[in-house]
Amino acid sequence: MSPRNMRDGRRPSSRVLELALGLSVAAVFACASETPNVQSIPVSANPSEQIDALSARIDQSRQLSAPVLSPTWFGRAQASLSSAKEVRDQGGAVGEILRHVAEGNAQIEQATKYAKVSENVLPGLIQARADARAAGATSLGEPYDEVEKKFLEVTAAVESDDVSWAERRAGDVEKELRQVELQAIKASSATEIRSLVEKARKDGAQKLVPATLTETEKMVKDLDAFITANRYATDEMGERVAATLFHAKRLDVLTREAAAIQKNAPEDDVLQRERTLASVAAELALPDLRDRDFGSQVATVSNAVRELRKDRDYLVTQNQGLRERAAALPQLEAEQRLNELYTQVSEYFTKDEAEVYKQGSQLVVRLRGVQFPVGESVLQPDDYELLSKVQKAIRTFGAPTVVVEGHTDSTGSPTVNEHLSQQRAEAVELYLVANNTLPQDRITAVGKGASEPLAPNDSEEGRAKNRRIDVRIDAAPGSAALPAVAAQPAPGQPPK
C-alpha cells in the first residue's frame, strides 16, 4: 500500500464523501483527518468511570469489526486507552488521564465511521473474508495469515483516503480469500478420508484389496472436483463427504480383514465364516445349518430376515394407524361439541330473527331482525328482545371471544359506509357490554362497510339484506380447537 496519504494529510476525496453513509461533510473531513475533533472532558469527571466508558465503546466498535475495517484508528484508540490506564495506575495527573480518554473517544469514533465506509466500499471483499473464516480458514495458519495481512492493507488504505487503490487491490485479495476458503472446505471435509486411505495403502491395500482401493481413491478425486466447482452446495457436499468417508472406512476394514485372512490357514478361515453364520442363524431361531454350503446358509438366513422385516413393517403400519386415530380424537370431540352448540343456539332464534351457521371454528349469528334505518346507527327498542337472545347464545359458549361486524349497503361513499358500519357494530358492542354479557376486552367491533354484500345492491330488498350485523363467537379459552365443518354461504345464498 502506498503510504503517501498517511503522510501528506490531504482532505478526503469526493469518492469518500459519496460513500460516507450519510455523514455530513464536516464529519467526513474530521474522519479522515490525522487530528480528529477531540472533545475535552471536565477535570471534575471521574477518571475510572471515563476509562470504563471508553473501554465499552471500544468493545462495541470491535463487534462492528472495526479492528479489521479501520485498523489504524482502532489501534490508536486502544493505545489511548492503555495510556490512560497506565497513568491512572501510576497515580498520574487526572488531567493527563482524561486527555488520553478524550483522544481515545475521538479515535474510536473515527474507527466506527471508517468501518462503515469500508463496508460500503468493499462489500465483496468483506463477505469473502467472512466466508473464509466461517469455513475454518483461520486453522490453515500461514496461508490465511498472509491474505489477512493483505486485507488489512486494503482497509487501511480506505482510512488514508486511498480509496481508488483499495478498490483496485480488493479484487485480487478477494480472489485469494476465496482460494483459502476453498482450501479450508477441502481440508475440513477430506482430512479423515485422506488419512484412512493413506493408512490403508501403508497396510498393503494395493496388494490385498486393489479394486476397492482404486474405487475409493476415485471417489476422493471426484469429491475434490465437486467441492472445487460447487463450494456452496452444502447439502449435496455433505452427502458426498459422508458417502466417501463411509467407503474410506470400509477400505480400512477390508484391508485389515484381508491381511488377517492371509495369515490364517484355510481351515481357520472357513471355520470362522461358519461360526459367524451359525451365530446369526441361532439368533433367528433357525436349525443348525452347518451341514449345508455357505451359499445355502446365507440364503436361509436372508429369507428369515426378510420375513421378520415384513412382520416389522406390518406392526409399524398398525402402530401408525393407532396413532392417527388417537390424534383425531380431540378433533372429533371438538367437532361434536361445535355441532351440539350449533343445534342449541339455532333453536334460540326464529328464521326472521337470525341465521346461525358454522364457519371454521366459529359460530356466526347473522341478525336479520336488527334493521338500521338508512344512514343511522342507533338501536331501536324493538331490537332489545333479539339482542337478549344474542346474549344467551354467547353465554352458551361460556367465556368466548366475540367479534361484532357491521355491514352497510353500497349507498354513499366507501368512507362514509365504513364509518357507519363501525358505529353500528359499536352500538351492539356497547349493548352487550352494558348488559354484562362479556367483559369489554373480549368483544371487538369491526366495520366492514359495503365490502361483503349478501345480495345485489340494485334493489331495496337487496340493500336491506346488506345492512346487517354479524356476531362471530369463538370457543371459550382452554377448550379444544374447533375445526372447520361448514363453509360460509356464498353471498345471496341461504346457509347450509
Share of the chain above pLDDT 70, in %: 86
pLDDT of the residue at 233: 76
Q: Give the whole-number percent of the chain exceeding pLDDT 90.
A: 29
Query: Is residue 365 pLDDT above 90, yes or no?
Result: yes
CATH of domain 338-474: 3.30.1330.60
CA distance 254 to 269: 15
Q: What pLDDT is attached to residue 87?
A: 93
Decide if pLDDT at 206 tops 90.
yes
452: buried, middle or exposed (CB in 10 Å: 19+, 13-18, 0-12)?
Answer: middle
Looking at the predicted structure, is the pLDDT value of residue 481 above 50? Answer: no
* pLDDT, position 34: 53
pLDDT digits (tens, 9 = 90+) for 103-149: 999 999 988 888 888 888 899 998 989 888 887 888 878 888 999 89
DSSP conformation class of 116: H
Average pLDDT over residues 223-236: 79
Looking at residue 319, its pLDDT comes to: 72
Can you tell me the mean pLDDT for 47-69?
Answer: 88
Cell output for 207: 496388494
Confidence (pLDDT) at 413: 83
Mean pLDDT of 73-99: 92
* Pairwise pLDDT comparison (494 vs 352), residue with the higher score: 352
pLDDT score of 268 more than 70: yes
Quick one: which of 131, 182, 106, 120 has its CA closest to 155?
A: 120
Whole-structure pTM over 0.75, yes or no?
Answer: no
Which is more confident, 406 or 371?
406
Is pLDDT above 60 for 459? yes
Q: What confidence score (pLDDT) does residue 15 get?
A: 40
Q: Is the pLDDT of residue 5 over 50?
A: no
Exposure string (b/e) for 269-294, b if CB count within 10 Å is 16 or more? Answer: eeeeeeeebbebbeeeebeebeeeee
Cα 35 to Cα 22, 84, 153, 444: the distances in Å are: 21, 18, 21, 62
Domain(s) of CATH 3.30.1330.60: residues in the chain:
338-474
Q: What is the mean pLDDT of the chain?
A: 81
Note the pLDDT of residue 52. Answer: 92
**Banded model confidence at residue 417, pLDDT cuts 50, 70, 90:** confident
CA distances from 285 to 159, 274, 278, 304 (A): 79, 16, 10, 9
Query: How many CB atoms neighbour CB 304 within 10 A?
Result: 16
In this structure, of 29-43, 152-166, 200-214, 287-301, the range with the lowest mean pLDDT score is 29-43
Spatial neighbors of 494 by CB under 8 A, at least 6 apart, are 355
Confidence of residue 477 (pLDDT cuts 50, 70, 90): very low
Burial class of residue 151 in the structure, from the number of CB atoms within 10 Å of its CB (0-12 exposed, 13-18 middle, 19+ buried): buried
* Higher local confidence (pLDDT), 493 or 300: 300
Residue partners of 337: CB distance under 8 A and separation at least 6:
475, 479, 480, 482
**Average pLDDT rounded to a whole number, residues 18-28:** 34
The stretch 453-470 carries a mean pLDDT of 88
